[in-house]
Chains A and B, each alone.
Chain A
Amino acid sequence: MPVKSSFFPKQALQGEDLPSHMMWSDLAFDCIKINHSKTLAFKEVYNVSDKDITVKEGLILINKVEVDGYLGIVYSSRILPAKASDEKIEYSFLLQSDVVESLTFSVHLFRPDIVVHNVPHEMSVNLVSEKISPKISVKNLGEGTAVVDIETTAESEAQKHHPQFFETFIQELIEGIKSSVSRLKDDFKQYSALLDKLEIYLTKPFRFEDESLKMFEKFEDELSSALEENEQFAKGLVELLAGTILRSAGFSNVYQFVLDYVNSIRKEKILLRDPFNVISLVGKPVILRVKIVCIDLLKQKCEPIELPPISVSSEQSGEIALFKLFQWGED
């Protein structure tokens, strides 16, 4: 086989970059023709000079490579109307218009697909038994993970907030994180600027908004490179911060912590960002207005879903975790 090695991803999130390569030996050709689905777009080419490549919609023609035996191409994919799609790509090596070698690949592109059913006009909550009826049904019909944030809008009478017992913990946690980051900065001076950004993200959670997500993605890339480069830093960071969080928790919150972990993971690959947040109920109906915002694992925002107003009533006064008003997936 003249083609010694070839690569194209089999699966990817919609919006993910798709790298590919071909390596060959003893292969005579005067053109490499690549037919690809219009869902994919050419992004970068390696080992080909600009004058030797022609890019059209769904078609790439390469006259020659700089160093014989290697071609690298990166494609970009985009979010599609369909929640999953299989796309094909075909590489053909041509010599005087005859195909001398050809390879076909297929990639499964998927994404999360959050849908909301059964939004009631009225909802009744028993704060003692935590019986809620009827619940709002949220499903992820896609194969991708959705990180979901439930926001109460400005018009909502009930606003989400931390439960009282959590406030002290959060304050201690923020102080603990600041002191841990400062210790890390002493040990890893070269990552000082990065650790400053980390402290901001850990102590002031950001909203799922385009600009913040872009900045967060950039920060995560920088952090990931630093962790890859320096294993000591990776382990130091993880251990010190995990330790800080557990220390801040104290005995009374350790079980709450585990509970939050379990609560934050829902079926159908739904991850809740803040399962501990609550709304307060005061013994009479309050209007709740919420917006479901979600991102995929590439930090791409899904279309926010704003729900119609819901009148939430309870005979008791107290707090209820906001996520409990929903039925997540097939739970």
Chain B
Amino acid sequence: MELGAISKIFKTTEIIDRILLDSRVFDIKSKDFQLKSVEGIMVYSVVVAPKVSLESGRMISFDGIDLRRISIFSSPGFSEETGSISRIEKGLVKSFAIDPRKISENAGELNLKFELECEVERVVNDLVRKDHQIESVGEESNTYWLHAQFKELSNLQRLLRRMDLLDIPFIVNVAVHQDVKTKFPARRQHELELIAKWARELDRTRKNVLSFEHLQLKSARPREKDITKLLCDLQDLFLPHRFRSFIDVIEDFYYSDCFRGADFYDQIPFRTFPKWMSVLCRTDLSIERPASEGELLYKKASFLEAVEEAITKK
């Protein structure tokens, strides 16, 4: 069975099972796995039933296991048994231990949740095929399809009762370059060219000529928006909270965040304005739902309106 990185997790959970069984206090009833991509952990939930009086149990130590935390919930009240877990720190090494004697007297079955440190990217790559549309064609709006599916199902189903992969990340690069360019008037481009030349010109006569040309350009349209203000307003459109309003992510995926995209094949990978906005979307998969599809909708027409407003509105 080719499960790569998750095999490491299974080895760890086998050790946890062994420790629990060797304590002779519990019987294991069921096991669930839940990968939490955002937190970077795999939550291993084990439902156990006490097979002897908890009072007779001894401290169960989980030394040498890379755990972030342990929590215990007892039935029937689903109350958290915080007092029974202790965190032990020896220098830089930390570990956890469970004291069965401190678990509520009337506790029935217990749900033990072990949060394991996990290489999320490797686990997801081994288990899931991720695809999304690279480029979209459309006049009013652009949709980008998103798709995730389990590569391996039968072995997982055979081994586990439940496996949830939550918040699997996808970065989609939404093209905005044509939309900025379309609305950027040629005369404002000419003005930029004049200012850029003026700024680096060292010859006084030529600098004066350029200043005069610029003044002429400005006096021809005295009510036109100042170019610096225009550039600042345009820049604001690419702030995550502004750009977010031009994006809809349709189920089974959801919007998580966005930031300026880079063009690493360009000599200057981050120009003043981005050519792409990187949108972070997420989705969930489980053994019961082994594939998910969704769409990212970029509201191009609304963005074009906003660009026009940034360029013209004072």
Nearest CB in chain A to that of B259: its residue: A238
Annotate A165-186 by CB proximity to B: 1 below 8 A, 0 otherwise.
Answer: 1000010010000000000000
B82 contacts partner chain A, Cβ-Cβ < 8 Å: no
Nearest CB in chain B to that of A169: its residue: B268
A229 x B121 contact (CB < 8 A): yes
Indicate which residue in A66, A147, A261 contacts B154 across the interface (CB closer than 8 Å): A66
Measured in the bound complex, the distance between the Cα atoms of B262 and A129 in whole Å is 34
A214 contacts partner chain B, Cβ-Cβ < 8 Å: no
Q: How far is the CB of A314 from chain B (nearest CB, A)?
A: 18
A98 contacts partner chain B, Cβ-Cβ < 8 Å: no
Measured in the bound complex, the distance between the Cα atoms of B264 and A223 in whole Å is 11
Residues of B in contact (CB 8 Å), total 62
A228 x B270 contact (CB < 8 A): no
Measured in the bound complex, the distance between the Cα atoms of B37 and A40 in whole Å is 33
A21 x B153 contact (CB < 8 A): no
Nearest CB in chain A to that of B193: its residue: A259
Q: Which residues of B contact A254 (CB under 8 A)?
A: 272
Q: Which residues of B contact A276 (CB under 8 A)?
A: 267
B134 x A242 contact (CB < 8 A): no
Residues of A in contact (CB 8 Å), total 78
Q: Which residues of B contact A7 (CB under 8 A)?
A: 145, 147, 291, 293
B264 x A11 contact (CB < 8 A): no
B121 x A297 contact (CB < 8 A): no
A5 contacts partner chain B, Cβ-Cβ < 8 Å: yes
Q: Which residues of A contact B171 (CB under 8 A)?
A: 224, 227-228, 234
B interface residues (Cβ-Cβ under 8 A, vs A): 37, 40, 120-121, 125, 129, 131, 133-137, 145, 147, 149-154, 157, 169-171, 175, 177-178, 180-181, 184, 189, 192-193, 195-196, 199-200, 227, 231, 256-257, 259-260, 262-273, 275, 278, 280, 289-291, 293
- Besides the known contacts A67-B157, A206-B265, 17 further A-B residue pairs in the complex with CB atoms under 8 A apart: A11-B133, A21-B147, A21-B290, A23-B289, A46-B152, A47-B290, A66-B154, A201-B264, A228-B170, A229-B169, A231-B280, A246-B272, A253-B199, A253-B200, A256-B199, A267-B181, A273-B266
Q: What are the 3 closest A-B residue pairs judged by CB atoms, nearest first?
A: A66-B154, A228-B169, A21-B291
